[in-house]
Amino acid sequence: MRIVVAVFLVVVSIALFVSLQCTAKATSQSQASVAASPYLIERVANNDWLLIDVRSPEEFADGHIPGAVNMPHDNINDYLSELEGHKDKPIIIYCRSGRRAKLAMKVLEDLDFSEVMHLEGDMLGWSAAGMTVDRM
């Protein structure tokens, strides 16, 4: 009877460990985010990070984060050649409220871009925090 209980506990422990590892991996990939801050602008200005605004060109022209490049989410595949050099570098993506950013992030993650992150609060949060906005 003790052997059965011991085997059962080992199996449950292994299953729990595997489950936690899968959950941690999924969480780190799908929920990695960066806070709105002057540090973000500094890293983008130094070309350490790539900041992508996935809103429409009209929205981008109305106001965007300094240093951001516009790559609309529905055309993100058209920019893959430009993004190839950033495959292993931090890429921060934002839109107005988050929906389009998550769609673009999924595309890049599926193409093995290793450091794709989401800007916390997106453009609405950036503006609400009183951060600098460039207009065209």
Q: Any idea which residues carry the catalytic annotation?
A: 95
Residue 89: in which H helix or E strand, if any?
A: none
Residue 134 — φ and ψ, nearest 5°? -90, 145
Amino acid identity for residue 94 in this structure: Y
Let me know: does 50 contact 91? Beta carbons within 8 Å.
yes
- Backbone region of residue 134 per phi and psi (left: phi > 0; alpha: psi in -120 to 50; beta: other values): beta
Which structure tokens are listed for 66?
């300094």
- DSSP code of residue 133: -
Q: Which of 135, 132, 114 is nearest to 39 (CA)?
A: 132
